[in-house]
């Protein structure tokens, strides 16, 4: 970031990643107090708007927890084999 530039206000994280994080911490729901805190930190949106936005995320967290509890395994994407254009340099 250039000197004097404002820091970014937030980073975008995919909703599925937030669902996985909720599932991982063992709490697939968000309390009213937590929505109130989000609203206070945001400064423009209501707690209700956050609750509405998170409905699908918390539902996905519950679904993922059920799938994991049933033993489903999730395979990560394999890394690309395009690691470099040139072969490694010889050492002398």
The ranges assigned to domains in the chain are 15-69
Of 30, 16, 31, residue with least CA distance to 67: 16
pLDDT in tens, 9-41: 678 899 999 999 999 999 999 999 999 999 999
Q: Which residues of 69-83 are buried (b: 16+ CB within 10 A; e: fewer)?
A: eeeeeeeeeeeeeee
Contacts of 32 (CB under 8 A, 6+ apart): 47, 51
- Taking the whole predicted model, whether its pTM rises above 0.75 is answered as no
Q: Per-residue confidence at 2, pLDDT binned at 50, 70, 90?
A: low
Q: Residue 8: what pLDDT?
A: 61
């Amino acid at each position: 970031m250039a000197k004097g530039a404002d820091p970014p206000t937030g980073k975008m994280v995919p909703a599925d990643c937030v669902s996985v994080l909720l599932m991982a911490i063992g709490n697939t729901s968000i309390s009213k107090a937590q929505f109130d805190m989000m609203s206070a930190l945001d400064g423009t949106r209501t707690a209700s708007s956050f609750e509405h936005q998170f409905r699908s995320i918390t539902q996905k967290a519950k679904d993922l927890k059920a799938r994991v509890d049933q033993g489903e395994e999730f395979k990560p994407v394999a890394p690309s084999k395009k690691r470099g254009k040139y072969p490694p340099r010889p050492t002398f």
